[in-house]
Amino acid sequence: MTAAHKSFAPSTLLLLWLCVSACSIDGYCLVDASIPSTSLGTLATPTTIKKWRVCGPFVLSTAQNYVWYSTDKESAAMRRDFLSEIGGRETPLLLRAPTTQLRVNFNNDIKNLPKGVDPPRKNGKAFFDQTQEFQSGSVSTQILYWDFPRRFAITYAAAILNAPTPRDVVLLLPSDSPVKLWLNGSVIVDPPAGTVGHNPGDYSLARVHLNRGNNPVLLKIFSFPERNEFALHVLTARQAAQFVQRNPAFVDLLNSVVVAHGSTLSLALNLQYLAFRSNKTVMSIRDMDGKLLRSQTINPTSTRELPTEGLADGLYELTIQAGLSALSERFYVGDIGKRLRYFAEVCSQEGPGKTKADSCVVIKPLLDRMADQQMTERLDKEKPLLLLLSQLEFSMRGQSPDIKIDIAGGRVYLIAYRSELDNTLQYYYIHLPQDYWAGQSVPLVVFCPYNDHNKSFFVGPTNTLAPLVQAYAQLADRYGFAIMMPFARGVGLSSPTGMKDILEAIGDVQKRYRIDSRRLYLTGECAGGRGALLLAEHEPHRFAAVSTVNAATRSAYVPYGESDDEDDNAAPRDELEPNVSKLAHVPIRLIHGDQYPHSPILQAYEFKNLCRSHGFDPELIVVPGEGRLGLRDPTQLSFAFFQGKHR
């Protein structure tokens, strides 16, 4: 802490005393006019807050991995008032005059610190204390702290919501880290530790009342390494209802999906917003055979827990039905470690050629996850456990994962196949929509992975992580799509091995299931987006459309077929340009966040212009921030683009 933070001039102390006195009267205080104000007007359309007073980072740990984290540490950090370190406080809100005027560069890759930028240091690291306008309203601390994004830290952001008349509104707060929100001095959003931050975008909604005039907002974000973005949208109740209707998988149902025998299920706070879909909400619990065990009407605005008395130890499916919409979540009752040790013993007795042997490969990653102390939150640890455990349960019971089980939302299956490349077991996840069970051939969306040499399929790229797999599956049900998540050997589609692997996986899906070969679609994010375009270049007559999210179109790669060996470390060549003309007859939608730091939006404009020079013009949709925290979900935009397209 600098000397300026330790002592105050007499005039400053007098000003602080006067403000404290005022705060004791109305409960809220602003030292100066440095907190920016946003006029809400009539709210004919949702309003996104773009101007914030930013203070941070207050560093919690210098560790660059998740070993430091625990839910107790998260709780302690969210209770501690870090503003006191700079002469302020959280509530009643007290902020001193800004102390920095740093230039923020929104266009550079995080690996390249902007030239000429040498921000002041606090404890040796960049520290912001200023009013800042964010171009799209998405507030990314990764953008703010170019040279210091990979630490656990606390950041504050304050703003004024100016309402012309008293009114009730809904605050929509998406984030990829835990957040705490105060409005007019009262805590509005404060989720339990360990329940936020496991998805790329978690949404909190809060019905609030705004007073006429100024309504101060203070937001506190607990940033994980590289997970540090939020946005704040102000909506009417009608607009919020429309948002919830468009986003079927934006909430978790449970705060914990592994519970001790006889314990209650803790329902997620956001479950109350299912009331936006219907006045009647029905809860049901089914066992692994699809047998209905319980069904009852609940009040989503007040029901916080569900009993599990009478349920034997095992795996279950909770479904919440609101109108025509249904959300599902698996949960486990009992000692999951004991169950895994049982499976480990069974698998140790399985020899070569046994029907169950392939499924046993998930035992090691399951046991590793049980012992892993680097998991970020409880749900990060529990959801992959449940996804993989369910595959074991079905396999060991002698059930094929291909059988129909009548549970809302369908199922995600882990499929193992023998690669023709080297006879090794390779894997992919697949979800089959309800239409499939009616005997129809269904379209297939392939989520192309990005390269991740150091991780296996079970802990690797985001497209194989349980929360996203399950969220994509529920969204795919709305469109009648089958979806698959292959691995490409962890090297991505920019290598010959990765390309061959993903083509093998697609071929395996087509052999096993009724897939409409005229409606094969490709999508992917960042390097996965580049991979989708590379695959379409290689097989332009096979795929009906491509839609990418934040595609790294300028990144170097090894063009497919230029090397006959399997050296994935071969020198990278040029990018998409050599074969881009092959995409001329493939419908393409580029979706790009205007502040995505890894492959800045300039790449999207460059690629679009490259395509124009070859006589075709892909569609480009620009979304706020990194693309995941706006009012339009990029995956939904991709699925909507695929509808009706065929070869």
Domain ranges of the chain: 3-242, 247-406, 409-642
Most confident range (mean pLDDT) of 164-168, 222-226, 574-578 is 164-168
Please, are residues 518 and 510 in contact by the beta-carbon 8 Å criterion? no
Residue 238 amino acid letter: R
| Average pLDDT value for residue range 75-91 | 95
Q: What is the pLDDT of residue 511?
A: 93
At the second CATH level, the architecture of 3-242 is Sandwich (2.60)
Q: What's the rounded Cα separation, in Å, for the pair 226 and 66?
A: 11
State yes or no: pLDDT of 375 exceeds 70: no
| Domains 3-242 and 409-642 equal at CATH topology level | no
Q: How many CA atoms lie within 13 A of 430 on its CB side?
A: 22
Q: Is the dihedral of CA 92, 20, 36, 162 positive or negative?
A: positive
Domain 409-642 has what CATH class? alpha beta
Look at the block and give the residue holding tokens 């409606």. Answer: 519
- Of residues 50 and 26, more confidently modeled: 50
State yes or no: pLDDT of 408 exceeds 80: no
Task: Quote the mean pLDDT of the chain.
Answer: 78
Please, are residues 563 and 500 in contact by the beta-carbon 8 Å criterion? no
Q: What is the pLDDT of residue 582?
A: 93
Q: Summarize pLDDT for 297-318 with one digit per residue, the tens.
A: 888 777 888 999 899 998 898 8
Q: What is the pLDDT of residue 285?
A: 93
Most confident range (mean pLDDT) of 198-207, 407-416, 428-437 is 428-437
| Average pLDDT value for residue range 396-413 | 49
Q: Which of 501, 509, 511 is nearest to 483 (CA)?
A: 509
Q: What is the pLDDT of residue 428?
A: 86
> Which neighbouring-strand residues pair with 56?
128
| Average pLDDT value for residue range 607-631 | 88
pLDDT class of 9 with cuts at 50, 70, 90: very low
Q: What is the pLDDT of residue 454?
A: 57
Choose the CATH number for 247-406 among 1.10.287.3510, 1.10.760.10, 2.60.40.3580, 3.90.550.10.
2.60.40.3580
Q: What is the pLDDT of residue 146?
A: 62
- Of residues 75 and 14, more confidently modeled: 75
State yes or no: pLDDT of 133 exceeds 70: yes
Query: Omega of the bond prior to 587 within 30 degrees of 0, cis?
Result: no
Q: What is the pLDDT of residue 405?
A: 34
State yes or no: pLDDT of 273 exceeds 90: no
Please, are residues 342 and 433 in contact by the beta-carbon 8 Å criterion? no
Please, are residues 196 and 467 in contact by the beta-carbon 8 Å criterion? no
Mean pLDDT lowest among 40-44, 417-421, 492-496, 578-582:
492-496
State yes or no: pLDDT of 11 exceeds 50: no
pLDDT class of 461 with cuts at 50, 70, 90: low
State yes or no: pLDDT of 161 exceeds 80: yes
State yes or no: pLDDT of 202 exceeds 50: yes
- Percentage of the chain beyond pLDDT 90 is 32
Q: What's the rounded Cα separation, in Å, for the pair 209 and 222?
A: 26
Q: Which of 579, 585, 597, 595 is nearest to 629 (CA)?
A: 595
Residue 407 amino acid letter: I
Q: What's the rounded Cα separation, in Å, for the pair 569 and 557?
A: 10
Q: Summarize pLDDT for 335-362 with one digit per residue, the tens.
A: 888 888 887 777 777 554 444 445 676 6
State yes or no: pLDDT of 553 exceeds 60: yes
What is the layout of strands, in order, in the sheet containing 442-448? 412-418, 425-431, 482-485, 442-448, 515-525, 545-549, 588-593, 619-623
Query: Omega of the bond prior to 164 within 30 degrees of 0, cis?
Result: no
Please, are residues 521 and 545 in contact by the beta-carbon 8 Å criterion? yes
Q: What is the pLDDT of residue 402?
A: 41
